[in-house]
Amino acid sequence: MSVKYTKDHEWVKIDGDTVTVGITAYAAEQLGDVVFVELPDVGKTFDQGDEMAVVESVKAASEVYAPVSGEVVAANSNLEGEPEKVNESADTDGWFVKLKLTDKSQLDDLMDEAAYAAHIS
C-alpha cells in the first residue's frame, strides 16, 4: 500500500482501486483543534478537485477537496463524535473517506512522501 499527497495537504492511501483519504498531520497542526468534520454520504461521487468534506477548527473552516475522482464507499463516522482524532492521529484513525477510483491514472499526478516533505518545508 503506497501513500501519496496533494498540495492541499491531503494524504491518499492506495489499496487496489480504493483509496483512503485524510488530511496530513501538518495540515491538522496548522488548523489547530479540530471541532467538527462534515463528511459526504456514502454513494456520492466526486470529480477530482470537487469540495468533498469540511473540516472546522477553533480557528477556521476549510474545505477538503477530492484528491481523485471517485465514489464514496465509506466515511469515518467516528469523527462525528470524536473530531479530535484528526489532531491525534491524522494519518490513521483520523481518516475522512474511502473512495472507489474512477481514473487510476490521476494518482500519478500526486506527490510522494519526499515531494510532500519538500512542499511543506
Stretch that binds another protein, among 18-26, 50-58, 86-94, 109-117 (CB under 8 A): 50-58
Minimum CB separation from another protein for residue 21, in Å?
20
Cα separation values, 56 from 84, 92, 117, Å: 11, 19, 24
The binder of another protein chosen from 6, 24, 57, 76 (CB under 8 A)? 57
**C-alpha to C-alpha distance for 31 and 109, rounded to whole angstroms:** 25
Minimum CB separation from another protein for residue 58, in Å?
8
Stretch that binds another protein, among 17-25, 53-61, 66-74, 96-104 (CB under 8 A): 53-61
Place of cell 470537487: 50
The binder of another protein chosen from 17, 33, 60, 115 (CB under 8 A)? 60
3-state SS assignment for residue 61: strand
Region of 16 (left: φ > 0; alpha: ψ -120 to 50; beta: rest) is left
List residues near another protein by CB under 8 A.
35-36, 38, 54, 56-58, 60-61, 63, 80
